[in-house]
Amino acid sequence: MKSSNTLAFLGGALIGATLALLFAPAKGSETREKLRETLDQGVDDLKQEYHKHFPVNQEEGQDE
């Protein structure tokens, strides 16, 4: 339950940051660059949080 709350919070923060960038008064190219950077960082953060709570067994399936 706790991990789902963390993921929900991070997802909400990512959505909020994305919307803030979309409505910010800046040139389109600057906004797209900021959006790309924010999304990339958000995806990386979500992946880290996911793997922290659901580690992947790297050795599984190598013998086959």
Number of domains in the chain: 1
> For residue 58, is it within any domain?
no
Q: What is the pLDDT of residue 57?
A: 62
Residue pLDDT, tens place only, 11-28: 888 888 878 877 777 787
> For residue 63, is it within any domain?
no
**CA–CA distance from 21 to each of 24, 30, 57 (Å)?**
5, 10, 37
Residue pLDDT, tens place only, 26-50: 787 887 888 788 889 888 888 888 8
Give me the domain span that covers residue 14: 2-53
> For residue 45, is it within any domain?
yes
> For residue 44, is it within any domain?
yes
> For residue 15, is it within any domain?
yes
- pTM for this structure? 0.48
> For residue 43, is it within any domain?
yes
Residue with tokens 């906004």: 31
> For residue 25, is it within any domain?
yes
